[in-house]
Structure 1
Amino acid sequence: MQRLKTRAQFQAVLAGSTVARTAHFALHRCALDGPLLSADSPAAAAPLFTVDDVWIGAMVPKRWAKRAVTRNAIKRQVYNVSASADVALPRAAHVVRLRAAFDRKEFISASSEKLKAAVRAELQQLLARAAAGAAARARP
């Protein structure tokens, strides 16, 4: 599994489709084909994605997670859950985007075990929905 690093990679994936949503997260996917994977066209100086593999990125805006500790904890959970063996994402580029804040009255600490468990559970649900949708589309 590869990680998205550049702004252009994130923009390319966000221009793709949204494949799954939960209360707090959205999963965007972009297929790795054409100019994204190869530099065949003269206009493209270098491909955005150099390897045909599963790519993952995490977007946690300050708007929805004010504290850096919370943003970093959520990103760590995204990368850990997506790297686990029970997640079967297709070979494509994916971005997990936080789209709503977690209630600060319920999760008082910026990085509590309760918050991490809630994030992990919701991410597992999100990735399971995405994998189920991909499996349904793959069937003839």
Structure 2
Amino acid sequence: MHARHLRTRAQFQALLGTPAVARTAHFALHRLPSAAGGGPALFAPADAAWLGAMAPKRWARRAVTRNAIRRQIYAVGDALIPPLGAGAHLVRLRSAFAPAQFPSARSDALRRAVRAELQQLFERGSA
């Protein structure tokens, strides 16, 4: 089952107000349990899994890089076994991938590095 995507500024702000439950070198995972959903209208239905992705310009200057990272976040989140539990989850890029190491935003090397780190982040967040 696919997680619903966060869409509104209020949803993102609610999650950014919580401490990160897991961190890796480049990402942070924020979680808001379904019981603390910030009001019935913010994350309705409350028993669903919600997933958001943030890749700020500060850490990924090129739009193609930001979009590729966001796509990887959603793909890894949807492929998790077991799937994300009920509640809201936000993955935030918190530092840049080295442009010298990954010169192309669409390279397979960057895609593999992002995917591996995201899987590690979700494993840490589920523990």
Q: TM-score, normalised by structure 1?
A: 0.84
Once the two structures are superposed, residues 7-51 of structure 1 have per-residue CA deviations (whole angstroms, 9 ceiling, x without a partner) of 00000111123110000000001122356352xxxxxxxx10111
Q: Extract structure 1 runs of 4+ deviating beyond 4 A.
A: none
- Cα 1:26–1:34, aligned 2, differ >3 Å: closer, same or farther? closer
Q: TM-score, normalised by structure 2?
A: 0.92
Task: Provide the rounded CA distance (Å) in 2 between the counterparts of 1:101 and 1:35.
Answer: 30
Aligned to 1:92: 87
After the TM superposition, which residues 83-122 of structure 1 pair with which residues of structure 2 at under 5 Å, given as runs?
83-122=78-117
Aligned length: 124
Q: Looking at both structures, which has the greater relative contact order when contacts are Cα pairs under 8 Å and sequence separation is at least 6?
A: 2
Deviates more, 1:82-91 or 1:122-131: 82-91
Task: Provide the rounded CA distance (Å) in 1 between the counterparts of 2:82 and 2:69.
Answer: 18
Correspondence for 1:49 among 25, 43, 54: 43
**Structure label with greater radius of gyration:** 1
User: Where does the alignment leave 5 or more consecutive residues of structure 2 unmatched?
Assistant: none
User: Where does the alignment leave 5 or more consecutive residues of structure 1 unmatched?
Assistant: 39-46, 133-140
Task: Provide the rounded CA distance (Å) in 2 between the counterparts of 1:4 and 1:49.
Answer: 9
Once the 2 structures are TM-superposed, how far is the Cα of residue 82 of structure 1 from its aligned partner? Answer: 0.3
**RMSD of aligned Cα (Å):** 1.4
